[in-house]
Structure 1
Amino acid sequence: MQQSRSDSYAAAGVDITAGYKAVELMKTHIAKTMTAGALSDIGGFGGLFELDLTGITRPVLVSGTDGVGTKLKLAFLMDKHDTVGIDCVAMCVNDIVCCGAKPLFFLDYIACGKNVPEKIAGIVSGVAEGCVQSGAALIGGETAEMPGFYPIDEYDLAGFSVGVVDKEKVFDKNTIKEGDVIIGLPSSGVHSNGFSLVRKVLDVENCDLKAPMAELGGASLGETLLTPTRIYVKTILALMESVSIKSVSHITGGGFYENIPRSLPKGMTAKIKEADVPVLPIFKLIEEKGNIPRREMFNTFNMGVGMTVVVGREEADKAMAALEAVGEKPVRLGEIVAGDEGVILW
């Protein structure tokens, strides 16, 4: 690529040689994500993946796409860019595993005002870490330098993932019945949703993001808000080996009230004991500073539960034990009852 250079393009604000340098810097991170199916080196026109269907009778491909949203504003303010890639991967693969699919590969898209190779490589290092955590290969991506469209110090980050599941193993919410148990998997924090409200309520642009806060156990607001989204893929895939999962819900924007009903059949409602929700200090801070009604908190944030799983009552104890065996700290949130309320918090 040494012959590829355009002074005219550089004068317009796009340095194509910076793109080549960024690719070279990110290759080490990408190498960590390579799985048996990944066939192509980074930098080609398309990402190749050889599908291994051993043990799968009726393969179903499952895809998911998402971005990081305005959480990126915190990364800009903190000048810390090596964790938001984990968020990007998490938002995609956590959705994929909600039907029992194993993520196969991931592609990212970064659009920026100015391509600073070291910053881009830092972003991709987070993407690679998310891929390692989920078992997906990072087989390609795109970095677009767009001067005049994005401020020179800002960027957007989005991604796309594909997974596979045997059709007979897809979680079937229609098997849910009264008395089934709802298990919650703890979140690591705000994850990647509700940050427009968070930024407004906590006035992040005008406060000291690095100062320790007693309300957060001595952690700073900046590091607390930038804590990456948890990736639940390996946990759910392991649980599938022990019990029959009926449904899974990824608690993202819309909180409990929007996401949990999506994993329930008509006529069934999730009855959850609010006192059993492991509400994290950051949510208490947001609620207090913004004077936000408790119902709206549960309708916007994960409140400390990033994913819920429904299993039969007869398998609840076994599921809890299996989750604890893989290092989880599951909580029994409640049970399924008849009704069309979707979610009842009591």
Structure 2
Amino acid sequence: MIDAGIVGGGGYTAGELIRLLLHHPEINLDFVYSRSQGGKPVSSIHQDLVGEADFAFADAVNTDVDVIFLCMGHGNSRPFLEENPLPEEVKIVDLSRDFRLKEDDTHGNNRQFIYGLPELNYDSISKTDQVANPGCFATGIQLALLPMADNKKLLEDVNIHAITGSTGAGQKPRSTTHFSWREGNVSIYKAFTHQHLDEIKQSVGQLQGVYNQDINFIPMRGNFTRGIFVSAYTKTDLTEHEAVELYKEYYSDAQFTHVSPEPLHLKQVVNTNKCILHVEKHGDNLLVTSIIDNLLKGASGQAVHNMNLMLGLPEDTGLQLKSSYF
């Protein structure tokens, strides 16, 4: 068995990660560390794990494990690693944005993080000991754009509208996450300035090279709990058939990303590690829709996928999940 630990165990992302690792056939979950919840039963915080997580949050980190997941808030992973240097043989999957960008991807003795989008960096992830897990919006949007970038076909501005569930804002209550505000409500936030734009531009540049056009991103808050629905469009001279074939080819070997001939709806992916895409042409505009579960494919499921690649396990180990369709 492979010993794993989680640092930062109290939030939604950690709760899903605990669930996945408890049921992973190759993993022994050695500890779940939480500074704020140390000593409390895990199932008292993650109440969906009653009967499954019969242990308490650890009040210390055990470095004698094979892999550690960092599930702390953004900006906390780098200080944690500086204050708690881990043995070089311990693999790290960081779910914050601390190491996602090239200018920030090293720490300590030049230990470099690889950007953990398997559909982009499969080979590099398989050879590394440190992965920076992508953001949730960034995952859904990049998967909508990568085939075009890989074929040097992003030649015009890209316009994106994407709506996310309330769990994307984290577990800590805020004025825009509580029930009476969110129910029956939709709103825009961080228009054109969302922090995931830097990741998206970095990945587009990695495949296409120079891309000087704008990526216009309008993020929206939805009145549901889980999932992200992305609508992205750009002008292209590709026919619809050519575009669909381009997407099918790019994702032909992808374990979790699929191209559907039918229009999408969010329940197809909730509670799964899938991304499903749909491609259609309207006049000069190519419209690509993309759906993911923000807590799984956009966070904890992708983290386990990355771990599987790093450890040489079959990609779908522990991730054979059915959508909450009904």
State the TM-score, normalizing by the size of structure 1: 0.29
* Rg (Cα) greater in structure: 1
TM-score (norm 2): 0.30
Which structure is higher in helix share?
1
